[in-house]
Structure 1
């Protein structure tokens, strides 16, 4: 069966993305075939395209999508043909009209959640789930606690602002413009810092917290915010580095963690957390509950045709997108 998919033959800029005809066969054991109604757009896709995260070539891109299950392979019991479904999953390949893929990370999509929302929320929403629910400082997080969340006006950030508010946390958002800061505040952030106006955002965090600092910083920016993030932390605080949009974090002088207050550092990934079907289902159920209840609304600010993936990547890298964006087959 001939379908369309976005592929790269060599790593590089957005111009390397090509929409080509591909053959989509039948699912094997433990696999499904899904027809996409929408595909998610995430910064990890840029890392795959530019070679920062190397893939065997030629490579297909895209880590999340939503659509209808067309066929299931042997051993798949939690899905059946005709099911509405959504996923965030390895291997890449979501930028496609249809694909065959492992079934273990694919979940039934509740009827209350439409396909575009499903495609826009799985990788981002499951990321927020493992951050705020599973990647916690030494004594956990309680209502009233302060946390710092960088890039808070992006797709992950806006979900985090809402989820943190639902947990009673005081989220201190950072973003690169006044408009983005206002967006974060409108979605539940307790405070917002424009780091282009206030380069020493850590000093502002100290002011907000009465000099104490925060229990945890969630940082997907990387090089540009690393040192400042460490300076935001209270003693025994946790530095969570889960991305590097501005470039790789520099080599760590571990002695600095002692000097700054016996700090903790971790570099988690979503795919460690969703390595089993049981874990994926539990995390997905938590996410679906938050979205279905209205406590988390997934903001989709941009829709692109699948053929316009090149422009989507250019916009993503230029940091002009807020909220989430989707590709439509």
Structure 2
């Protein structure tokens, strides 16, 4: 048996249930991981609420790091004792878990377990957005919403290292200061300022090349107003609600704009793509281009409290659960 945080019915944070579940021996293509740290992400809340449906009951969470304790009969990619991390495998809120070996990433020397758990999902999200969805080049100008959040702090540092001019948004003086300290050339306090007007002011009326928006409904219309003609809005999350576009011609009226709704599930279907992204991510961390900010630690049993903090915009940086 192992301690887990289960979801037996969809709803608010109160549906998170601390329970003891059995753990089977690993089968073909599987390994048993003793988890050392677990990452908290907005996708966890979407699955909990039912926005992203899962078969009930299920163990929450999508990101973690730990040590391989047993391997399936055909597993050769890892061995017992290896340190590994993963993202995109539901079931992370557990002291021990089975995981698919094809989606495991070796943790390199010099990266501790908490850092790996805090960064692998968010960091790989930043990777595909900055390198694949819109390959950022030196001299371009980008806007990143929620720049003081877990993904934002990683992505803005990385974008700055690529030579971009980085504009971020954040809510409140503390988050503005944090974003400024992590790669943003300009930070707009969306609580006090009209962010599209400020972006136009900062860019001399041109607009930005690309907007990366994980906030969703609250920022969508304003994000379109920040783009230069033929710019791209990459809407990769819905922290404030799901985006809908009732009138597609808004894109032509605002400058023949592009909009995409990417997800890592389609960027990392092949193991080689996953490992390529992880190599770039951990390389940027080890070089110092990205400094990982762990803004909160909760015990596994405090998952409900952690979800409330995340959804209440009370967190900064990455948040980890400790089994």
Which digits, 9 at most, give the CA deviation of each residue in 1:185-211, with x for residues without a partner? 10010100001111x311110111111
Instruction: Report the CA distance between 1:297 and its aligned residue.
Output: 1.0
Contact 2:136 2:159 in 1 (8 A): no
Find the aligned partners of 1:100 and 1:89 in 2 and give their Cα distance. Answer: 13
Q: Are 1:5 and 2:17 counterparts?
A: no
Which digits, 9 at most, give the CA deviation of each residue in 1:3-32, with x for residues without a partner? 111101101111111111111111111111
What does 1:289-304 correspond to in 2, within 5 Å?
289-304=283-298
Instruction: Report the CA distance between 1:54 and its aligned residue.
Output: 1.0
Instruction: Report the CA distance between 1:163 and its aligned residue.
Output: 0.4
Contact 1:89 1:106 in 2 (8 A): no
What does 1:179-258 correspond to in 2, within 5 Å?
179-198=174-193, 200-258=194-252
Find the aligned partners of 1:71 and 1:272 in 2 and give their Cα distance. Answer: 29
Find the aligned partners of 2:170 and 2:75 in 1 and give their Cα distance. Answer: 43
Which digits, 9 at most, give the CA deviation of each residue in 1:140-184, with x for residues without a partner? 532121100001100000001110111111110001112111110
What does residue 39 of structure 1 align with? 38
Instruction: Report the CA distance between 1:252 and its aligned residue.
Output: 4.1
TM-score, normalising length: structure 2? 0.98
Consecutive unaligned residues in structure 2, runs of 5 or more: none
What does 1:262-281 correspond to in 2, within 5 Å?
262-281=256-275
What does residue 131 of structure 2 align with? 133
What does residue 53 of structure 1 align with? 52
CA RMSD of aligned residues (A): 1.0
Find the aligned partners of 2:277 and 2:59 in 1 and give their Cα distance. Answer: 26
Find the aligned partners of 1:314 and 1:271 in 2 and give their Cα distance. Answer: 26
Structure 2 vs 1, CA of residues 256 and 93 (structure 1 numbering), >3 Å: closer, same or farther?
same
Structure 2 vs 1, CA of residues 257 and 77 (structure 1 numbering), >3 Å: closer, same or farther?
same
Instruction: Report the CA distance between 1:251 and its aligned residue.
Output: 2.7
- State the SS of the aligned residue for 1:70: strand
TM-score, normalising length: structure 1? 0.96
What does residue 282 of structure 1 align with? 276
Contact 1:49 1:61 in 2 (8 A): yes
Find the aligned partners of 1:275 and 1:177 in 2 and give their Cα distance. Answer: 38
Contact 1:231 1:260 in 2 (8 A): yes
Residue-pair matches, total = 323
Q: Are 1:102 and 2:100 counterparts?
A: yes
Contact 1:216 1:233 in 2 (8 A): yes
Instruction: Report the CA distance between 1:256 and its aligned residue.
Output: 1.0
What does residue 85 of structure 1 align with? 84
Find the aligned partners of 1:275 and 1:141 in 2 and give their Cα distance. Answer: 22
Find the aligned partners of 2:252 and 2:88 in 1 and give their Cα distance. Answer: 37
Find the aligned partners of 1:235 and 1:32 in 2 and give their Cα distance. Answer: 49
Find the aligned partners of 1:59 and 1:141 in 2 and give their Cα distance. Answer: 37
Consecutive unaligned residues in structure 1, runs of 5 or more: none
Instruction: Report the CA distance between 1:34 and its aligned residue.
Output: 0.7
Find the aligned partners of 1:238 and 1:79 in 2 and give their Cα distance. Answer: 40
Contact 2:196 2:222 in 1 (8 A): yes
Find the aligned partners of 2:167 and 2:107 in 1 and give their Cα distance. Answer: 32
Find the aligned partners of 1:89 and 1:71 in 2 and give their Cα distance. Answer: 21
- State the SS of the aligned residue for 1:112: coil
What does 1:135-174 correspond to in 2, within 5 Å?
135-136=133-134, 140-174=135-169
- State the SS of the aligned residue for 1:104: helix
Contact 1:38 1:326 in 2 (8 A): yes
